[in-house]
Amino acid sequence: MILTIRKFGDPVLKEKCNRINNLDCNFAGLVKNLADTMYNAPGIGLAASQVGILERLFICDLGDGLQVYVNAKIVATEGEDMNEEGCLSIPNIRVPVKRAKKVKITALNANGKKVTFVAEDLLAHVIQHEVDHLNGVLVLDKTDTENRRRALEELREHVQID
């Protein structure tokens, strides 16, 4: 089922998400709906809060299969990278965002199993972007003043907030 992606201006995107304490019987269905929504958009990452569900869950697919992250936490970072990022909640806008080049992450996977690993480059950026969503932070909060101003101007002109 394709869910409605909340757009910039929706207060739910500024909320902090709650830890998930158990993967109940609705969990697999929720992941499937998130995946349907992300692939339909199309996008490479989607956080539950972007469809109005305030739980620490996000998914991504960089072309090599669906990855599911529950209660993801960045426990270490290394290096620095600047890259242009878009967001399904802020359509047609791309802004430069400073990210760590590498992140060490702990999370539960789709089966509730704890995983710890190091991600680099694009995957590291996507994980940082999605973890930001779990904390109510958007790319517009992370870019510089000038790019934020320009993006907001463009949003006012072209995007209908529904």
User: Which positions lie near Zn ion, rule CB under 5 A?
Assistant: 87
Block residue for tokens 């072309």: 63
CB of 122 to Zn ion, least distance (A): 14
CB of 139 to Zn ion, least distance (A): 7
130 is catalytic: yes
The closest alpha carbon to 86, from 77, 95, 78, 99, belongs to 95
If the CB atoms of residues 23 and 140 are measured against Zn ion, the closer one turns out to be 140
If the CB atoms of residues 87 and 107 are measured against Zn ion, the closer one turns out to be 87
N residues, the chain: 162
The closest alpha carbon to 122, from 45, 66, 68, belongs to 45
Q: Which of 130, 146, 154, 157 is catalytic?
A: 130
Phi, psi of 65 (to 5 degrees): 110, 160
Q: Where are the beta strands (DSSP E) in the chain?
A: 45-47, 57-60, 67-78, 81-87, 90-99, 102-108, 114-120
- Residues annotated as catalytic are 130
